[in-house]
Structure 1
Amino acid sequence: CRFCSNYCTDFFFLSIVFFKQAADLVIQLSSTPKTKPEVSTFGSVFTDHMLTIEWSGTEGWQAPLIKPFGNMSLHPACSSLHYGVQLFEGLKAYRGDDNYLRLFRPMLNMNRMSKSAKRACLPTFDQSEFLECIRRLVEIDQDWVPYSDSAGLYIRPTFISTEPSLGVKKPSHALLYVILCQAGAYFHNEAEALSLWADPKYTRAWKGGTGDCKMGGNYGCSLLAQYEAVDYGCQQVLWLYGEDHQITEAGTMNIFLHWINEDGEEELATPPLDGIILPGVTRQSILELTRKWGEFKVTERYLTMSQLCSALEQQRVREMFGSGTACMICPIGHIVYQGTVSKGSTHPHTHYLSAQ
């Protein structure tokens, strides 16, 4: 096993660094390791081990435990099941050409998870120590990280209330756990651009809600719209908000529009973080990279379907794409909106951004 000893702002190198809570880590290795398949469909094949850390209001955080992957036992009245007091994160481990394993900007995920936990009234946790426990888990299951330029190991930290009560209240028991799975293609054919269905009758998030937190309820309530999009011949939903049909997100992705704007400027635009939009790590990275390029204007601004339709009619759209941890960078091909199919255009930067 090889580790890089350098620190980089863009990648957390899997170096050997120990923290107090991580030093208390208990490791129980599986006696029956699985046969590792070829890179599989996203989220369907899990590694040999998982990480669990229990918390209670009276005793605080218990020693972290890495143990064989398996089912968990929950009280039937658990408030995460009844009231959705739970959240999760998603990040990836990659294997470089040098065979070093890297996590992509994981402290951004830890920061976002901490913010989500506060919104869900779940306890605070030490982000650095939790990240070190995750690093140890990846180290143990490192053989699952693919030797591939296009695939990685998906890491799913999850935080749930284990409060054994039907009372709607702040939990006095909670569980942090982490599972890992191989991460191949998120969509069935990532070589093709996505099709989106835009209809204002469904809303993903709203002002004052939890759209800027990574909570399971944000995703479960999207399923009906997702299957209706399929009925219209589309793969994903383009989520709209407000009477002016503001563009917010595409499926589970942040969305970007590269166009010639109303003032004749070449611009890469994405909706602002106003409480509705999830602050994606890939989103932030794209903004930082393209601003460094200095090739065109890069903004966080409101975009409406009226503006987009006008730009498409006038052939001012260079490309549209979605971004996220699971899909990375995904070009958008066409949009079905108010009975009209609007074709997208070429996507010169999506593959280049993916390579960055």
Structure 2
Amino acid sequence: MADNSVPSFKASDLVIQLSSTLKAKSDVFTFGTVFTDHMLTIEWSATEGWQAPLIQPFGNLSLNPACSSLHYGIQLFEGLKAYRGDDNRLRLFRPMLNMNRMANSAKRACLPAFDQSELLECIRRLVEIDQDWVPQSDSASVYIRPTFISTEPTLGVKKPAQALLYVILCPVGAYFNTGGKGLSLWADPKYTRAWKGGTGDCKMGGNYGCSLSAQYDAVDYGCQQVLWLYGEDHQITEAGTMNIFLHWINEDGDEELATPPLDGIILPGVTRQSILELTREWDEFKVTERYLTMSQLCCALKQQRVKELFGSGTACMICPIEDIVYQGENLHIPCQEENSQLTSRIAKELTDIQYGRTPSDWTFLV
């Protein structure tokens, strides 16, 4: 339902300009490099407010070299997917969670508010127009990337008076190519992904750009991703761009699925929230949001209390973690074949919902 208290663009005002030439589609592509035929753009200014949404042929943006998003990182983004079900219907997975998170990020970035329901309807129309790009495959989908940037041409550090919200789509397959193995992580407290009072709970580009140096250090140590630590006690926070879950027998002897709490430095992932809700509904073991440290993990590994460690996210879905390089030691994490089937069970239940095999109010039909 639209929130009429928020000055916003309206999906009913949407203008559609279809491309005269459609691109050839390929089944072979690298994640995030091939884009569909159309995009959504919505302009805003402090003087005129939101303009009518426009779906137009995919193309380059024209930006003033002084626009403050380029100089000061006043921008944010989101990520969700469209899935083609066995019934050939297209579905989005819990898209209002993404819309709400985007609105929270916009508030933190001092970008203008918008009606999340109106944006979702504009995105639905865009996906509908480019629906032929959504693969008929359990291992592929179309990734939806809403982006919100300041376009004000000024070198002054201030709240933007001009902005652009746009959405692009790209067909995607698997995010990681691990050959069926779990990920290897490099854990070193010299780098910090986010901190208390910062923007770690917002989906802003600066959180990711500043992670690249650590990512390449991880590769130098023979690992694929970074395990981000925080504080003097080396709290486990996130793995690469994923939320992280530990399935173990905890200190009290209880079987537990644990993930770090949303304390301002953790991104509130949609897949993360779905895993928590799903496993709590099972009521088969403890499911908690709690602080976890490397010393706790190392102790549990030595005592063989760890069942699985895995990451979660929209791009990767569920990704088992097999090794961690920490303080000169290679810590081997039991993988699902050796111990538990939890990751594969969670992945199956979520994908069954996403592709429509299991009816659920978590899906939004296009």
What does residue 89 of structure 1 align with?
78
What does residue 48 of structure 2 align with?
59
What does residue 35 of structure 1 align with?
24
Aligned partners of 1:292, 1:156: CA distance in 2, in Å?
A: 30
What does residue 196 of structure 1 align with?
185
- Aligned residue runs from structure 1 range 152-191, under 5 A: 152-189=141-178, 191=180
Aligned: 1:231 with 2:224: no
Aligned partners of 2:9, 2:321: CA distance in 1, in Å?
A: 46
CA contact (8 A) 1:39 1:182 kept: no
Q: For 1:254-311, what per-residue CA distance to the aligned partner results, in whole angstroms no more than 9, with x for missing partners?
A: 0000000000000000000000000000000000000001110000000000000000
Which region of structure 1 is more displaced relative to structure 2, 187-196 or 302-311? 187-196
Aligned: 1:352 with 2:341: no
Residues 275 and 20 (structure 1), Cα distance of their counterparts in 2 relative to 1, 3 Å cut: closer
Residues 346 and 189 (structure 1), Cα distance of their counterparts in 2 relative to 1, 3 Å cut: closer
Q: For 1:79-98, what per-residue CA distance to the aligned partner results, in whole angstroms no more than 9, with x for missing partners?
A: 00000000000000001111
SS, match of residue 10 in structure 2: helix
What does residue 212 of structure 1 align with?
201
RMSD: 1.0
SS, match of residue 146 in structure 1: coil
Gaps of 5+ in 2: 1-7, 350-366
What does residue 286 of structure 1 align with?
275
CA contact (8 A) 2:9 2:50 kept: no
Runs ≥4 residues deviating over 6 A: none
What does residue 92 of structure 2 align with?
103
Aligned partners of 1:20, 1:194: CA distance in 2, in Å?
A: 42
> What one-letter code is carried by the residue in structure 2 that aligns with 1:267?
E
Aligned partners of 1:20, 1:163: CA distance in 2, in Å?
A: 19
Aligned: 1:137 with 2:123: no
Aligned partners of 2:168, 2:180: CA distance in 1, in Å?
A: 28
Gaps of 5+ in 1: 1-18
> What one-letter code is carried by the residue in structure 2 that aligns with 1:68?
P
SS, match of residue 216 in structure 2: helix
> What one-letter code is carried by the residue in structure 1 that aligns with 2:80?
L
What does residue 148 of structure 1 align with?
137
Aligned partners of 2:74, 2:223: CA distance in 1, in Å?
A: 32
Which region of structure 1 is more displaced relative to structure 2, 69-78 or 345-354? 345-354
CA contact (8 A) 1:41 1:185 kept: no
> What one-letter code is carried by the residue in structure 2 that aligns with 1:52?
T
Aligned partners of 1:306, 1:230: CA distance in 2, in Å?
A: 24
Identity %: 82
Aligned-residue offset at 1:352: 1.6
Aligned partners of 1:156, 1:283: CA distance in 2, in Å?
A: 19
Aligned: 1:124 with 2:94: no
Aligned: 1:336 with 2:325: yes
Aligned-residue offset at 1:135: 0.2
> What one-letter code is carried by the residue in structure 2 that aligns with 1:250?
A
Where relative contact order (Cα < 8 A, 6+ residues apart) is larger, the structure is: 2
CA contact (8 A) 2:182 2:335 kept: no
Q: For 1:85-125, what per-residue CA distance to the aligned partner results, in whole angstroms no more than 9, with x for missing partners?
A: 00000000001111110000000000000000000000000
Aligned-residue offset at 1:39: 5.0
Aligned-residue offset at 1:41: 2.1
Aligned: 1:244 with 2:233: yes
Residues 352 and 39 (structure 1), Cα distance of their counterparts in 2 relative to 1, 3 Å cut: farther
Aligned partners of 1:123, 1:333: CA distance in 2, in Å?
A: 42
Aligned partners of 2:285, 2:18: CA distance in 1, in Å?
A: 51
What is the number of residues matched between the two proteins? 338
CA contact (8 A) 2:9 2:52 kept: no
